[in-house]
Chain A
């Protein structure tokens, strides 16, 4: 693992109306690091990913991704708000997997996975199809390329969504509660794919999840979010095994009782 941060949040503020979702958040992720974000709903954990993917703007602060400002541009030595062109180039660093999969329902699995490589990266159809095959194979769906999403189970759909994001060859993968919308018996197949990715690839991974056991297994670091701030962070053994903060202890206790 490299020591340079590939993601750096500096006093980032995000508000939705009167609610402060991120409260002067400082947060860093190193290259190749696998970080799990846990916390109660409304704590701002999904917002961190959505801001990185440029699906939400920030109200204050500064974010750097791969050494470049995400929401800003340098012009004549000044920081100015980023243009759409800049955001487009920054998005290439990242891929995102959504809670609701968000596959395109009117496209075959293959087309879902090749659409962006062809029309954004400029790959030929043939190259894109090869690449799609490779990633569908990786998620165990090599034989499903001609089906439509509605013909697949939720777990299979989410694996297609993972293949679709990977086909853009991002450096950073963002997983936003990837198993929360799945039936319990389908959670395992998706987690297995994510775990394989974590173990076999030097991708930087950011995972928002309620699957504590899984977070413990794959993470280099766990961050506990509450009220827009990181309350506690550290290696999973420490955060789960011996939480220092009262709020972390309460959350984990409640969570284990209800789960």
Chain B
């Protein structure tokens, strides 16, 4: 029994059917961690991208260093650091929050590059035309740059969303009850790892295929020349 649901080991099929609701409970945690982690990555990435774009080297260089540092160290190291080191300094977060934070932190380095690339992909001539028309920098960013950058940013962000989802099982090492961890516990207790682990793989495969199809669909629907402004 796990998470209040008992399993039936009379046959392989019965076992598979009986543990499915347990795995789906784990899946909910996986999806929650994905969403919270992605949200942190979106916000933190935007801040990092803003800092990196600063004309002041005193601001842009540390931001670049942080991005590089986060990207070049393993997610697991960061996760352990947040989970085991922070409490020594009096910062104690629940395992789920620690995990989501680690995911968000790691992926903020990637999303910040996506934002930067998206904004830089808007041709210089667009900025020059906006300047020649005397638009304010703010107006120019909002109605000229952003609508043209967003369609280039969204597909790349979608790919990172899928990536985060696939990295959530790492949180099992800090005892977050996400789907893989749930499957492993079922295996520990029934000595049947094959079925729960296969089911996790299958559920992931379905999720990823659906997400990839959704991103492809989004990509074909996004206006290539920027979001139309009447």
Please tell me if A119 contacts chain B, counting CB pairs below 8 Å.
Answer: yes
How many angstroms from the CA of A104 to the CA of B140 in the assembled complex? 11
Whether the Cβ atoms of B134 and A88 lie closer than 8 Å is yes
B133 at the interface (CB under 8 A from A): yes
Q: Does B135 contact A (CB under 8 A)?
A: yes
CA distance A115 to B133 in the complex (A): 9
Pair B135/A106 contact, Cβ less than 8 Å: no
Stretch in contact with the other chain, from B12-20, B80-88, B122-130? B122-130
Assess A55 versus B131: contact at CB under 8 Å? Given A104-B126, A115-B143.
yes
Given A98-B125, A102-B129, A105-B148; A168-B134 close (CB under 8 Å): yes
Stretch at the interface among A89-97, A208-216, A244-252: A89-97
Q: How far is A106 from B148 in the complex, measured between Cα atoms in Å?
A: 7
When the two chains form their complex, are residues A116 and B227 in contact, meaning their CB atoms are under 8 A apart?
no
A117, closest chain B residue (CB): B133
Q: Are A106 and B226 in contact (CB-based, < 8 A)?
A: yes
Give per-residue flags for B211-230: 1 if the beta carbon is below 8 A from chain A beta carbons, else 0: 00000000000010111111
Q: Please determine whether B128 and A55 come into contact, CB atoms closer than 8 angstroms.
A: yes
Given A100-B125, A104-B126, A106-B228, are A91 and B143 also a contact pair (CB < 8 Å)? no
Knowing A100-B125, A106-B223, A115-B143 touch, does A91 contact B131 (C-beta < 8 A)?
Answer: yes
Query: Given A119-B139, A150-B225, does the pair A102, B134 have CB atoms closer than 8 Å?
Result: no
Are B125 and A53 in contact, with the CB atoms below 8 A? no
Q: Which B122-179 residues sit within 8 Å CB-CB of chain A?
A: 123, 125-126, 128-129, 131-136, 139, 143-144, 147-148
For A108, list chain B residues within 8 Å (CB).
228-230
Q: Which of B131, B139, B143 contacts A54 (CB 8 A)?
A: B131
Q: Would you give 16 A-B contacts (Cβ < 8 Å), ordered by A? A: A53-B132, A55-B131, A55-B132, A91-B134, A98-B129, A104-B143, A105-B148, A106-B228, A107-B228, A115-B143, A116-B135, A119-B135, A120-B133, A120-B134, A120-B135, A165-B133
